[in-house]
A and B are shown apart, each in its own frame.
Chain A
Amino acid sequence: DAGVTQSPTHLIKTRGQQVTLRCSPKSGHDTVSWYQQALGQGPQFIFQYYEEEERQRGNFPDRFSGHQFPNYSSELNVNALLLGDSALYLCASSLTGGYGYTFGSGTRLTVV
């Protein structure tokens, strides 16, 4: 049974560019949450998707947007990249009403 799959694993972008990160949730899970983890810090909540809609959002600017597809997979888009966007981006899936969260291995984004 596959867990959470994220792609790509590593990415290097230039300031001002746009990036799309992808996440396939664990089988049976219907909710996807995205987190940003800077080096030496804990993950920070970006937003959560359920039933193809953004349900909750953390303190991130509108440059961060997302999407969830009918098969529950999700994308995170970041526009106008800044150096400060360099981080590990984690996707976590869960089942509505459940308590467990399964994390993917993340995408390491470096903005130069």
Chain B
Amino acid sequence: GQNIDQPTEMTATEGAIVQINCTYQTSGFNGLFWYQQHAGEAPTFLSYNVLDGLEEKGRFSSFLSRSKGYSYLLLKELQMKDSASYLCAVRDGATNKLIFGTGTLLAVQP
């Protein structure tokens, strides 16, 4: 079966660091994506991991452990505009389709 789990909601303070976890169980694996989605808008690409380890891109970093079926997205120096839903998605190795989690709604408070 295919299953992707991430917390439903998180709250953090402006200027702080937040880590959003994602665990997955899929029949095939060909990369893990993180997207940011503001309400009513398109998901926008944040990061892509296909090998184990940490990928850093400015204030955002993403980590992958394929053996554990685990990833996290780390957001540093939080800003109010970071309030959004963060979607974890795994690309199925056989079909190349993206399988999404339900998303984590992050609220950044002053």
Interface residues on B, range: 20 to 34
- The reply to whether B87 and A90 form a contact with Cβ atoms under 8 Å apart is no
Assembled-state Cα–Cα distance A43/B103 (Å): 9
| Shortest Cβ gap from B96 to chain A (Å) | 7
Assembled-state Cα–Cα distance A71/B87 (Å): 30
B97 interface neighbour in A56, A90, A102, A105, Cβ under 8 Å: A56
| Shortest Cβ gap from B42 to chain A (Å) | 4
| Shortest Cβ gap from A103 to chain B (Å) | 4
- The reply to whether A58 and B42 form a contact with Cβ atoms under 8 Å apart is no
Secondary structure class of chain A's binding surface, majority of residues:
strand
Chain A binder among B12-20, B43-51, B53-61, B69-77 = B43-51
**Extra pairs beyond A4-B42, A92-B98, A103-B35 (11, CB < 8 Å):** A35-B100, A40-B102, A42-B103, A58-B97, A99-B48, A101-B98, A103-B42, A103-B44, A104-B42, A105-B42, A106-B40
> Which residues of B line the A interface, CB within 8 A?
4, 31, 33, 35, 40-45, 48, 50, 87, 89, 91, 95-103
